[in-house]
Amino acid sequence: MHPATNSEPSSRPSLSWSDPPLCEGTPGYVNLDHAATTPALSVVKQAVDAALPYYGGVHRGRGFNSELSTELYQRCRMEVLELLGGDPLRHVVVFGRNTTDLINVLSHSIAFDPGDVVVVTGLEHHSNDLPWRRVARVARVEADAHGGLSEDAVEACFKRHRGRVKLLAVTGASNVTGYLPDIGLLADLAHRYGAKIFVDAAQLVAHRPLRLVAGERELDFVAFSGHKMYAPFGSGALVGAREAFEQRAPFASGGGTVSLVTSDRQWWLDAPHRQEAGTPNLLGAVALARACRALRTLDLRVVAERERTLTRRLLRGLSAVPGATLYGSPDPDLRRDRVGIVPFNLRGLEHAEVAEALALDHGISVRSGCFCAQPLVTRLLGRPELSELDYAALASHLRKRPDARMPGMVRVSLGLCTSGEEVDRLCQALCEIAADPRPSQGRDERRRQRRNDIARMVAGVFAP
Ligand SMILES: Cc1ncc(COP(=O)(O)O)c(C=O)c1O
């Protein structure tokens, strides 16, 4: 264990690694919504600023900026591979907009035959569930009552579909409960049954060390988004062995994907170019790659140890809030590792009311709702399955009334710069809300103030 992380952090990190320099956040606000989006590291901002004056078309010219940009883009791929311990001769890095985009790219890169099965789990974000339904038969392994995943249940599913399972698509960390499936064991299992494994690492890559190859074990495909790993929006990476990306026509076609085009035929380029239609988002790749380098330098083992300490503190604090129901693993000692994501509800209050009270009365940002994981949230809430007819009626109601709320939860998610004080401030705020759930005095005024602040900041972005 790292010497600086075996005690509760009392103030903003007293760690021996240098406090990761984040871009300035909004003063006075506590951000506990890192599972949605992380702030950018200042080294990421510096890298983008350094590239900004010189960018040009990647692979599209002989000019200085174009050649520089091509070189830079290639370096970005190498930085991603370094973080994951990939092999540049065997692995390719495909850049795309985000994890969702890249799962769609992957789902159209794999050559599925009729009857082929993709095994998905009940833990998945919609982005690692819906794309597979469009390209193959999907078999589901449901989560247990706490949102965990049984490897035996996964194996039983492989046995049921023996010989037809082409892929296991599984999250590296649940965006609802922080649960960490044992992806090493699952990789072994998939390979034993002749399938490949895809790991949705959107919630994993900035929290735990992730290696494509560890001894005999190998992950076939991994994808993640820049905006959940301290780079801004617009870029994500998908990594896997080259041959897997060269079997089919790409998901999106167009400029940059072809070596030759006639009036009625085209010949695709090799991966990753085949998968990257249109002019590449060089600055997005720079941001993501610089974040990869920063995470490598910080040492994700230390990041993880610190996060575990804070998560224990959060679990104990939330358990002491009167009327709080916590979902996910009930173990506050974290005997099984999890990332710093904790969902809960407060008795007598809707999830959105709690999030609103935290934001307006206490300056704390969290997320509420179903977190794009409706099957898992429904299971954790213990809601009964509805009939086909009820689902259709509910979907129609939600379509017509966008303000209507599904049952859901409040989610707290920790990040690199979350402090022990911030966790305590959240728990204290929740105790106050539980004691008196009525909107606090002055909330309307604070809402008005917030609107003014936002208007001023929007104007500032476009000034002068
Ligand atoms: C586990 C997981 N997978 C996939 C996604 C989708 O990521 P993006 O919206 O960046 O495509 C998310 C986003 O929250 C997620 O948490």
DSSP letter, residue 227 = G
Ligand 1 and 413: CB distance under 6 A: no
Amino acid type, 203: Q
Instruction: Give the side-chain half-sphere CA count within 13 A for 344.
Output: 27
**And the tokens for 330?**
């009930």
For 232-273, how does the pLDDT look when each residue is reduced to its tens digit (9 = 90+)? 999 999 999 999 999 999 999 999 999 999 999 999 999 999
Query: Among 149, 341, 372, 413, which is best to mutate for testing ligand 1, by the most ligand atoms less than 8 A from CB?
Result: 372
pLDDT per position as a tens digit, 296-310: 998 899 999 999 999
Whether 238 contacts 106, CB under 8 Å:
yes
Return the structure tokens found at 52.
């900004």
Closest to 149 in 3D by CA, of 381, 308, 385, 338: 338
What separation in Å is there between the alpha carbon of 98 and the centre of ligand 1? Answer: 8
Write out pLDDT tens, residues 205-217: 999 999 999 888 9
175 within ligand 1 shell (Cβ under 6 A): yes
Query: In this structure, which residue's CA is closest to atom 15 in ligand 1?
Result: 202
d(CA 70, CA 72): 5
Phi, psi at 367, each rounded to 5°:
-115, 150
Task: Please name each of the domains of the chain with its CATH number.
Answer: 3-40+299-370+408-462 (3.90.1150.10), 55-297 (3.40.640.10)
Give 11 Cα–ligand 1 centroid separation in angstroms. 30
Cα(196)–Cα(204) distance, rounded to whole angstroms? 19
Q: Is the CB of 257 under 6 A from ligand 1?
A: no
- What's the mean per-residue pLDDT of the chain? 91
First to last CA, the chain: 51
Question: In which band, very low, low, confident or very high, does the pLDDT at 3 lie, cut at 50, 70 and 90?
Answer: very low
Report the pLDDT value the prediction gives residue 440, as an integer from 0 to 100.
80
What is the percent of the chain where pLDDT is above 70? 93
Distance 100 CA to ligand 1 centre (A): 6
CA distances from 358 to 39, 321, 405 (A): 19, 14, 18
pLDDT tier at 421, thresholds 50, 70, 90:
very high
Residues 85-107 have a mean pLDDT of: 97
Name the band, by pLDDT with cuts 50, 70 and 90, for residue 23.
low
Residue closest to 340 by CA, chosen among 9, 2, 4: 9
Of 310, 257, 232, the C-alpha closest to 37 is 232
The answer to whether the CB of 91 falls within 8 A of the CB of 81 is yes
Q: Is the model's pTM score more than 0.75?
A: yes
214: enclosing H helix or E strand: strand 213-214
**The tokens 């009820």 sit on which residue?**
390
Ligand 1 pocket test target in 33, 97, 106, 127 with most atoms within 8 Å of CB:
127
**Residue 128 DSSP SS3:** helix
Measured from the Cα of 174, ligand 1's closest atom is 1
Give the alpha-carbon dihedral of 122, 192, 215, 142, to 10 degrees.
10
Ligand 1 centre and the CA of 168: distance in Å? Answer: 17
pLDDT value at position 397?
Answer: 77
Distance (Å, whole) CA 197 – CA 101: 18
The pLDDT confidence band at residue 118, using thresholds 50, 70 and 90, is: very high
Per-residue pLDDT for 402 more than 70?
Answer: no
Question: How do strand 221-225 and strand 213-214 relate by DSSP bridges?
Answer: unpaired
Is the pLDDT reported for residue 396 higher than 90? Answer: no
Point out the least confidently predicted range of 162-166, 324-328, 329-333, 385-389.
385-389
202 lines ligand 1 (CB under 6 A): yes
Ligand 1 nearest atom to the CA of residue 200, by list position: 3
Q: What pLDDT, on the 0 to 100 scale, is given for residue 36? A: 98
Evaluate: CB of 98 within 6 angstroms of ligand 1.
yes
Amino acid letter at 431? C
Question: What value does the mean pLDDT take over residues 27-39?
Answer: 92
Quote the tokens at residue 391. Answer: 């689902």
C-alpha distance from residue 148 to each of 117, 237, 319, 329, 463 (Å): 22, 27, 20, 8, 49
The per-residue pLDDT for 408 is: 93
Q: Enumerate the active-site residues.
A: 372
- Residues 6 or more apart whose CB falls under 8 angstroms from that of 294 comprise 20, 41, 43, 44, 230
pLDDT computed for residue 14 by the predictor: 36
From 99, 227, 281, the mutation candidate for ligand 1 (largest count of ligand atoms within 8 A of CB) is 99
CB 227 within 8 A of CB 38: yes
User: With contact defined as beta carbons under 8 Å apart, do 346 and 321 qualify?
Assistant: yes
Burial class (CB in 10 A: 0-12, 13-18, 19+), 249: exposed
Range 349-356 average pLDDT? 95
Ligand 1 pocket member 225 (CB < 6 A): yes
Compute the distance from residue 331 Cα to the ligand 1 centre, in Å: 26
pLDDT of residue 25: 64
Task: HSE, CB side, 13 Å, CA atoms: give it for residue 198.
Answer: 31
For the ranges 10-24, 113-127, 340-354, the lowest mean pLDDT is seen at: 10-24
Reported as a pLDDT band with limits 50, 70 and 90, residue 439 is confident
Read off the pLDDT of residues 324-350 as tens digits, 9 standing for 90 and up. Answer: 999 999 898 999 999 999 999 999 999
Task: Determine if ligand 1 sits within 6 Å of the CB of residue 177.
Answer: no
Q: How far is the CA of 234 from the centre of ligand 1 (A)?
A: 13
Helix (H, G, I), strand (E, B) or coil at 374: helix
Is the sign of the CA dihedral 342, 333, 128, 379 positive or negative? negative
Q: Is the CB of 100 under 6 A from ligand 1?
A: yes
Q: The dihedral of CA 387, 393, 398, 404: what is its sign? A: negative
Q: Which atom of ligand 1 is nearest to the CA of 97?
A: 11
Predicted confidence (pLDDT) at residue 7 exceeds the cutoff of 70: no
Share of the chain above pLDDT 90, in %: 81
Tell me the backbone φ, ψ of residue 422, rounded to 5 degrees.
Answer: -65, -40
Distance of CA 94 to the CA centre of its chain: 17
With tokens 């002055």, the residue in question is 442
Cα(354) to ligand 1 centroid in Å equals: 23
* Ligand 1 within 6 A of CB of 125: yes
32 lines ligand 1 (CB under 6 A): no
* Average of per-residue pLDDT across 354-383: 94
Instruction: Assess contact for 163 and 134: CB atoms under 8 A.
Output: no
> Does 99 contact ligand 1 (Cβ within 6 A)?
yes
Highest-pLDDT range among 6-15, 122-131, 437-446: 122-131
User: With 90 as the cut, is the pLDDT of residue 125 above it?
Assistant: yes
* Crossing angle for the helix pair 64-84 and 282-298, to the nearest 10 degrees: 40
